[in-house]
Amino acid sequence: MRAFQMQCRAEIIRVTRNRYFVFWSLLMPILFYYIFTNVVNTHAPDQAAWQAHYLMSMTAFSVMGSSIMTLGIRLVQERTQGWSAFIRITPLSDRIYFAAQMAGQSFIHLLSITIIFIAGALINGVSLTALEWLLSGLWILIGSFPFLALGTLIGLMKKVETAAGVSNVLYMVLAVAGGMWMPLEVMPKTMQTIGKWMPSYNFGNGAWEIVRGGTPNWNNILILIAYSALFMLLSKYIRRKQEAV
């Protein structure tokens, strides 16, 4: 149990010391949020609704990023630098190690969500009911699961450079195509159709529905579960292939 706590603590310390994390997962989303709700005039009919909507977009964007990039790149780093091999010969079990990584990552997400929500409340005075804050936060926390699975998939790559490159591109494509930077409604028809099948759109849409006073759609939940299963199966298959050598 002590090992689990220490491991969680270590994971959290490491992430908060990571400058890329602080920049990409905290500063960037908050900056974007400020720009697209205050500097650029988006001609939204209902300013308050837009400000709440875009706060959810940016929070989801941040959490998606740290799931894919921070986790994925860190896994590759640990393996290439021989740390994983070293951990394997200590008494720490693989299960506790993995659980601690996930717990640490979730704690970081919780931290990001809280900080970005507070920023939204301070910058634009976004006001939601307590239940809406809570539910949207929870949705983003739990809904990040397929992206964590994608992160572990990226974590199987051989080189840190490839992992960083691939995860960066994936992150940006998912964010734009999923309507996190600008709503799908303003995009061309084909983009909208594709977007609706993206995990990022379904992730964001749950939170958008909540702040609109609704609840996430069933198909949002189903699509996210399907992506999780796909990414997990893929990483299991690749891992088995790598071990066979």
Shorter beta-carbon distance to other proteins: residue 52 or 69: 69
What residue spans of 125-198 are helical by DSSP H? 130-143, 145-154, 160-177, 189-195
110 in contact with other proteins (CB under 8 A): no
Identify which range of 42-50, 82-90, 106-114, 194-202 contacts other proteins by CB under 8 A. 82-90
- Binders of other proteins among residues 1 to 60 (CB under 8 A) are 2-3, 5-7, 10, 13-15, 17-18
Contacts of 224 (CB under 8 A, 6+ apart): 143, 145, 146, 199, 202, 203
Q: How many residues bind other proteins (CB under 8 A)?
A: 25
82 in contact with other proteins (CB under 8 A): yes
The C-alpha angle with vertex 54 and arms to 53 and 59, in degrees rounded to 5, equals 105
172 in contact with other proteins (CB under 8 A): no
Shorter beta-carbon distance to other proteins: residue 18 or 192: 18
Least separation in angstroms between residue 102's CB and other proteins is: 17
Least separation in angstroms between residue 147's CB and other proteins is: 21
Contact 128, 79 (CB under 8 A): no
CA terminus-to-terminus distance, the chain: 34
Torsion of CA 30, 32, 33, 38, to 10 degrees: 130
- Cα–Cα distance for residue pair 204/61, rounded to 1 Å: 8
* Of the residues 88, 158, 159, 212, which one makes contact with other proteins according to CB under 8 A: 88
* Of the residues 77, 102, 115, 181, which one makes contact with other proteins according to CB under 8 A: 77
Contact 33, 54 (CB under 8 A): yes
- Cα–Cα distance for residue pair 113/105, rounded to 1 Å: 12
* Of the residues 39, 41, 46, 89, which one makes contact with other proteins according to CB under 8 A: 89
103 in contact with other proteins (CB under 8 A): no
In the complex, which residues of this chain contact other proteins (CB under 8 A)?
Answer: 2-3, 5-7, 10, 13-15, 17-18, 77-78, 81-83, 85-86, 88-93, 245
